[in-house]
Amino acid sequence: MRSSTRTRRGTGIAAAAMLAVAGLGVPVPAGASPQERPAACASIPAAGTATARSLRPADGPSYTPEQLRRIDRRLTRRLEARGAERGGAARDDGRVGATLRIGVHVHVVGGDGTKGASKKRVRRQLQVINAAYAGGQGVTNTSTRFAFYLESFDRTRKDRWHHARIGGQDDLEMRHALHRGGPEDLNLYLLEPRDPFAQAVVLGWATPPTEARRQPGLDGVVIHQESLPGGTFSGYNRGDTAVHEIGHWLGLFHTFEGGCDGPGDLVADTPAQAVASSACDPAKDSCTVQPGLDPINNFMDYAVDDCMNMFTPGQVSRMHDNWLAYRTP
């Protein structure tokens, strides 16, 4: 399940957005909060005949409304320092009408008995990413200026990296060792990661643009290799996990961030949403006191890949603003 971008102290990951799959029968710690308990989400095939379902793992406190407002104020200050205004990043970067081409450094990390994802599947994943960010997948999707191309490809086989835990020593060591380029480059790590408590198989996480220069060696996106197109996670194997996590890498929050009140996801044209989606229910309305149904088709919700097909104009504007503020060389 795709969870909020959160602060992780003492682990070397300043913030991480995660999606995890928990096996049925995995014990939930006594006294676990509702966020830590398995949610009624789409089933995902696991080993053998077992099935699995989504779990939102505990990965630190959610952002408070004041923290979100502080993030927004900082973004405004960063843009002002560059002589830009909110919503004008695509114009003010000096490349009017230009495509913002992002080089992708793909790191396939295999383990004992597996060499990891094939280069063919990597290319299919990049096609899915480019289609989504060019306005494809749905008639309501908004095109961005971002285009992604394969800058480099490397393959490593080290089992403890292949099964690295979020924020663990193996994870930090792996990313520091393999990372290439600067904040304008996307480092995409493909492996079979685990969550810190071994309760779930994590499908993806990302570092936000605010950390790109603070911890450059950790910047990037990690996704489970089985979430790539043609992977084994039914419902999550069309490549939209990477689309979602890159959204975080470009500065987006979840559509359900903050619930029905407060600043929410800091985007004006995404309806208020109290809880993450799991199924593709067009009538879902978790904030009845606010206008609009839940944005179940949004790439930044938690629905299955078949349901996710759009960014809003406000989200696109926010991604461009974050790019100019934090990732432009």
- Name the β-bridge partners of 68: none
Give DSSP secondary structure letters for 199-265: SSEEEEEE--GGGTTTSGGG-SEEEEGGGSTT-SSTTS-SSHHHHHHHHHHTT---TTTTTTSTTTT
Ramachandran assignment for 107, one of left (phi > 0), alpha (psi -120 to 50 degrees), beta (any other)? beta
Q: Which residue do the tokens 């304008």 mark?
A: 184
Q: How far apart are alpha carbons 312 and 316 in whole angstroms?
A: 6
How far, in Å, CA of 109 to CA of 56, rounded? Answer: 25
Decide if 245 is catalytic.
yes
Determine phi and psi for 212, rounding to 5 degrees.
-60, -35
Alpha carbons 236 and 20: distance in angstroms, whole number: 11
Spot the catalytic one: 192, 211, 226, 245. 245
Q: Contact at 8 Å (CB) between 198 and 57? A: no
Phi, psi (deg, nearest 5) at residue 186:
-95, 120
Active site residues: 245
